[in-house]
Amino acid sequence: MSHHPDATPAPSAAPPVTIPTLQAWRAEGRRIVMVTAYDAAMTRLVDPVVDVILVGDSVGNVCLGFDNTLPVSLAMMNHHVEAVARARPRALLVADMPFLTFHLDLADTIRNAGGFLQRGAAAVKLEGGVARVPVVQALVSCEIPVMGHLGLTPQSVNAMGGFKVQGRAVAQARRIIDDARRLEDAGCFSLVLEGIPSELAARITESLTIPTIGIGAGPDCSGQVLVLHDLLGLLPGRKAKFVRTYVDGYGLLQAGLEAYAEDVRAGRFPGPAESYALPEAARAALDAPDGGD
């Protein structure tokens, strides 16, 4: 089974988004738009619209059927980073470092992160606070740009006792503020702030010079990120409080599939427009008494 597109979509004529671009927008107060994507088709859909594309380890929950991100391997992430990079996005392409790929050894961490850049990513994202400072410094020293991730860090789901809002207690809020400053000092070019109170995110954003990207962190970050399948309504069921669904994608796609099934069963598909005609000369030859021999 194959798909034969009439034409390959042309690369966007817009200039590519770079890390200096994001830093300039942060200084100007221009908001940054970031979404996840996990394959070339979805990348072509989002690239004309957004500024940053994250190949998130959320692919585990969204596409691979896992309950959380912990089972996502480096090989899985490499597969999806390659798929997204083949679409040649103009948006800044960031790859998530999955669980256990930046925890054990700095040499392995550099090799794993560098592999993402070799596959087309422009930067990597990793979770954690002050404990990750040596990791960030090692990567940045190898010219591997790093986006940090604080607050509700999904790879810490077991330690946190579930996907719970972080930073509500004073001590925890102070620790996240300190972590943010330490990560900026270590060389992170941006921070994702997830699942923290809006006022805490605003305080962190105000205290930093690098862009902050919020998800469940209120409106005062430098930009926002959502999982593409959430905002397009492609996943049925209950959504997190911070998700806004902009279209009933699941319902629309299901309606299209039902219409296709009805047409097949009724003999309405394929019709002449979707069928190939036999050339007249070939038809005449086949209709000849000798079968064209």
Residues marked active site are found at 194
Q: What is the enclosing helix (H) or strand (E) of 190? A: strand 190-194
b/e code 174-202 from CB counts within 10 Å (16+ = b): ebbbebbebbbebbbbbbbbbbbbeebbb
CA angle, 81 then 147 then 233, to 5°: 60
d(CA 83, CA 36): 13
d(CA 182, CA 43): 33
Beta bridge partner(s), residue 123: 94
d(CA 220, CA 200): 10
Residue with tokens 């790879």: 155
Burial group, residue 266, by CB count within 10 angstroms (0-12, 13-18, 19+)? exposed
Contact 213, 192 (CB under 8 A): yes
CA angle, 43 then 69 then 147, to 5°: 60
DSSP 30: P
DSSP, collapsed to helix, strand or coil, labels residue 232 as coil
